[in-house]
Structure formats: structure tokens, C-alpha cells
Amino acid sequence: GQNIDQPTEMTATEGAIVQINCTYQTSGFNGLFWYQQHAGEAPTFLSYNVLDGLEEKGRFSSFLSRSKGYSYLLLKELQMKDSASYLCAVEDSNYQLIWGAGTKLIIKP
């Protein structure tokens, strides 16, 4: 079967760094996406990894290891507005996205 695992909830402090992990087992792999979703809103794109390694984009970075079926999203200099759910999604061999249930990130002052 296809499976995407992420922690259900994480808490971090404003100004700190947090790492959100995602492990996957899917039928094929054509890339991994991270999306951000604020409560009551639509998901918005954060990053896309297709090759192993780290992709940096401002305060956010995403890492992929295809051999380990593992990715993480790193958020630096946390701000209160970063309180949201973070969704990991893998593009399978049919180019369809398989989504994790999301990690709710709570930022405390």
C-alpha cells in the first residue's frame, strides 16, 4: 500500500528552528512536495524536491533522501504566522499526489 507518515502535532517557540519529518512508501516516486495550510484556508505550495539533497528558499528548506524514503521541512526564525499545518505529498508513478495527514505546528511566544 501507499503510506505517508508525519507527526500529528509539534510545538515550537517564536524565533527558534523546527524540523518536520515525513517518511513515505509509495508505488513509484516522481517528486515530493511540501504545502502549508492555515486553518480554514487552502493549501499553498512551499517546496518541491525530486533529487536528493537540500533545497533552500528563504527561511524554509526542504531535504530529500530517496533511498531512505525520507524528507524534512526546516523552518528557521519562526514567526507566529508560521502556525499552520504542513502537508507532505509524494507524486507516485501515475503522477498523482499521495498526501500525508499533515503536521499541525503551534508557535508559542
Partner 1 sequence: IAGITQAPTSQILAAGRRMTLRCTQDMRHNAMYWYRQDLGLGLRLIHYSNTAGTTGKGEVPDGYSVSRANTDDFPLTLASAVPSQTSVYFCASSDRAGGDEQFFGPGTRLTVL
Whose Cβ is closer to partner 1: residue 82's or residue 85's? Answer: 85
Q: 18: which residues sit within 8 A by CB, 6+ positions away?
A: 10, 12, 74, 75, 78, 105
Q: How far apart are CA 32 and CA 53, in angstroms?
A: 12
Which residue lies nearer to partner 1 by CB, 43 or 69?
A: 43
Smallest gap, in angstroms, from Cβ of residue 97 to partner 1? 7
> What's the closest the beta carbon of residue 1 comes to partner 1, in angstroms?
11
Residue closer to partner 1, measured from CB, 43 or 78: 43
Cα–Cα distance, 100 to 28 (Å, whole number):
16
- Min. distance of Cβ 95 from partner 1 in angstroms? 3
| Contact residues for partner 1, defined by CB under 8 A | 4, 30-31, 33, 41-45, 48, 50, 87, 89, 91, 95-102
Task: Tell me the closest approach of the beta carbon of residue 43 to partner 1, in angstroms.
Answer: 5
Pair 60, 47: CB distance under 8 Å: yes
Rounded to the nearest angstrom, the gap between the alpha carbon of residue 84 and the centroid of all alpha carbons in its chain is 11
